[in-house]
Amino acid sequence: WERIFNSGSTMDGSETDAEILSKSLMSEVKVVSFDLDNTLWKTSNVISFANSALNDYLNSRNINQPLPISKVMGDIFKSHPEKYRATDEGTINNTDDNDEIKKSGPVFLTQLRKDAIAEVCTNYNGFNHEEAVSFASDAFAVWTRARHSSIPDNYADSVVECLEKIRRLRTSDGHPIIVGAITDGNSNPKNVQGLEHFFDFCVNAEQVGVGKPNRKVYESAVRQVFKSPYLRHIFNEREELDEDTLEELVGRWWVHVGDDFLKDMVGAKALRMRSIWSKELVLNQKEGQLDVGKESGKKDKDVGESVKK
């Protein structure tokens, strides 16, 4: 992984590290993509709020819950892991829920949560299958709305200011920087009040069918940008994407920002994307973690400044 990261691609001898770095530094930035959970906001607080909102909703509908929904999710996943795992190599080690599920392997948590709610309805509340599925869909919508509504209260430092700064930047041909999200979770910044107007696209690993660092997730983001008539200008009006040279086409002017070295840094480097390792929320989760920037006397850089350079 270190070799892939340092080279920006698999080592085939076609270019040296110095040549790759030199070309990247000469290329302007046209796209900035962000991981979401624990990059732009603190996930644990957001999920706790959403779980509480779901519990309140179930109680308001007089749903008997002998076990918490999160516990039911864990039990279902243990019984049928193949249903909720990624279908290809790569992992969706989603950060949404309890440690038991995360340690067990990749899961499609949207369907898992719906199935857990439906199981509670059928096993303990007398619902038939159709009624349970319908109710679970409504309950999940409550959970999702609560999740998105709590995000602004749990931002990392200077998130909005950073996005505003990036949005003010222009490429040499006068176009704004394209901003997107590439996430293993199931949130969407377009559904977050105050963030919706910053983001042009969002790629969800559950929809792709594999998780980061699989390059298919990042390729999906590239294709989504290519298919949009409003964003396609960055490809110089190409009619088709050449899959064999995709990293040459996009990598040098695409910056990806994330908290996970393997899933974000190494994953992005598979397409030779430039990357920024944003560790603020991860480091803050560790009790007693030193603030490296302050201890060294160095001023912290924000992503907006890095992209500008």
Q: Cα separation of 138 and 121, whole Å?
A: 13
| More reliable by pLDDT, 78 or 242 | 78
Whether 290 and 167 share a structural domain: yes
Whether 215 and 85 share a structural domain: no
User: Is residue 41 exposed (0-12), middle (13-18) or buried (19+ Cβ within 10 Å)?
Assistant: buried
Structural domain boundaries enclosing 101: 43-152
Whether 220 and 182 share a structural domain: yes
Indicate the pTM of the whole model.
0.80
Q: What is the pLDDT of residues 156-215, one digit of tens each?
A: 999 999 999 999 999 988 999 999 999 998 899 999 999 999 999 999 988 888 888 999
Among 90, 124, 152, which residue terminates a domain? 152
Q: Please report the pLDDT score of residue 19 as a whole number.
A: 52
Among 118, 152, 186, which residue terminates a domain? 152
Q: Is the pLDDT of residue 31 over 90?
A: yes
Dihedral over alpha carbons 49, 205, 88, 90 (to 10 degrees): -80
Question: How many structural domains does the chain have?
Answer: 2
Whether 243 and 166 share a structural domain: yes
What is the 8-class DSSP label of residue 265?
I
Whether 113 and 135 share a structural domain: yes
Q: Please report the pLDDT score of residue 102 as a whole number.
A: 47
Contact call for residues 273 and 218 (beta carbons, < 8 A)? yes
CATH number at residue 278: 3.40.50.1000
Whether 167 and 270 share a structural domain: yes
Whether 75 and 97 share a structural domain: yes
CATH number at residue 63: 1.20.120.1600
Whether 27 and 164 share a structural domain: yes
Q: Cα separation of 149 and 157, whole Å?
A: 18
HSE (side-chain half, CA atoms, 13 Å) at 262: 9
Q: Please report the pLDDT score of residue 117 as a whole number.
A: 99
Contact call for residues 151 and 160 (beta carbons, < 8 A)? no
Whether 65 and 194 share a structural domain: no
CA 254 → CA 23, 33, 215, 247, 300, distances in Å?
13, 8, 14, 10, 22
pLDDT band (50, 70, 90) for residue 104: very low
Q: Cα separation of 164 and 179, whole Å?
A: 11
61: its two tokens: 């509908």
Mean pLDDT score of the chain, rounded to an integer? 82
Q: Please report the pLDDT score of residue 190 as a whole number.
A: 96
Q: Is the pLDDT of residue 135 over 80?
A: yes
Whether 164 and 296 share a structural domain: yes
Whether 36 and 48 share a structural domain: no
Q: What is the pLDDT of residues 260-281, one digit of tens each?
A: 999 999 999 999 999 999 987 7
pLDDT band (50, 70, 90) for residue 249: confident
Q: Please report the pLDDT score of residue 282 as a whole number.
A: 63
- The CB density around residue 296, as the number of other CB atoms within 10 Å, is 9
H, E, C per residue of 49-101: HHHHHHHHHHHHCCCCCCCCHHHHHHHHHHHCHHHHCCCCCCCCCCCCCCHHH
Q: Cα separation of 201 and 217, whole Å?
A: 13
Whether 251 and 231 share a structural domain: yes
Q: Cα separation of 133 and 154, whole Å?
A: 31
HSE (side-chain half, CA atoms, 13 Å) at 45: 14
Q: What is the pLDDT of residues 37-52, one digit of tens each?
A: 999 999 999 999 999 9
